[in-house]
Amino acid sequence: MEIVEFWTYCSANGIILEAEQREQIKRYESEMRYWNKQVNLISRKDEDNFLEKHVFHSLSIMKYIEIPSKSVCLDIGTGGGLPGIPLAIANPTIKMLLMDSIAKKLTITRLFAQHTGIKGLRAETGRVEDLAKNKEHIGKYDFIFARAVTGLVHLCDWSFPLLKKTGKMVFLKGGTLMNEKKNALEKYPNLEIEEHLIKFKGYDNFEKEEKKVLICSFK
């Protein structure tokens, strides 16, 4: 997918990026192509489809849930900054913490974050489980995001102490999620789950691949 085609698909689906944001996305793509040859951040075969398979996929979250201005957000297992960096570029007033346990990935992701120029975007190496031991993070987050990280039960375990009472978890997943949802609901009977098959005007690859957005919250 070329950059102009990417912008067109975003606009057609209500994801509006201003000129500065489009330049930030272009720079992110360029830097990802360069650094992915040094550190494996995404599959090498996806480098030529980065906008389509990674950035566009990350931004699909915005089609299914509004992220209000100044929301405090956490991206679990961010890897190369996905979905956190695209979401922060598209929503520059939010605060986004990118977190991953693999230091060599976060070194590059921190560089990506700095180059966006977004003040509320930062990257830290560490385990999300350890955040719950820090009073500064307990009950802090409006949104917790994750993209193809682990099962729903583990994501809920990690997120529960960190979310505000009104907070939401938004996870990008694929395939049949029946067992994951069943297991999560057995452990957390107060869990509410919305499942959305990603559908875009003019672009049906996510639908064909059964890519989904799960929006979860605790009653």
Please give the pLDDT value at position 57: 96
Topology of the domain covering 3-218: Rossmann fold (3.40.50)
Sites in the chain below the pLDDT cut of 70:
none
How far is 117 from 24, CA to CA, in rounded Å? 9
AA identity, residue 74: L
Q: Which two tokens stand for residue 96?
A: 């986004």
Report the pLDDT value the prediction gives residue 43, as an integer from 0 to 100.
86
pLDDT at 75: 98
Predicted local distance difference test score (pLDDT) of residue 61: 97
105-115 burial: b if 16+ Cβ within 10 Å, else e: bbebbbebbee
pLDDT at 2: 81
Q: pTM for this structure?
A: 0.95
**Distance from C-alpha of 159 to C-alpha of 142, rounded to nearest angstrom:** 11
Among residues 89, 85, 88, which one has the least CA distance to residue 35?
A: 85
Crossing angle, helix 103-116 and helix 19-35, to 10 degrees? Answer: 150
Domain ranges of the chain: 3-218
Residue 189, classed as helix, strand or coil, is coil
Residue 148, pLDDT score: 83
Tell me what pLDDT residue 1 has.
78
Please answer whether residues 156 and 169 qualify as being in contact, where contact means their C-beta atoms are separated by less than 8 angstroms: yes
How many Cβ atoms from other residues are within 10 Å of residue 12's Cβ?
Answer: 12
For every residue of 18-47, DSSP letters joined together read -HHHHHHHHHHHHHHHHHTTTS-SS-GGGG
pLDDT at 87: 98
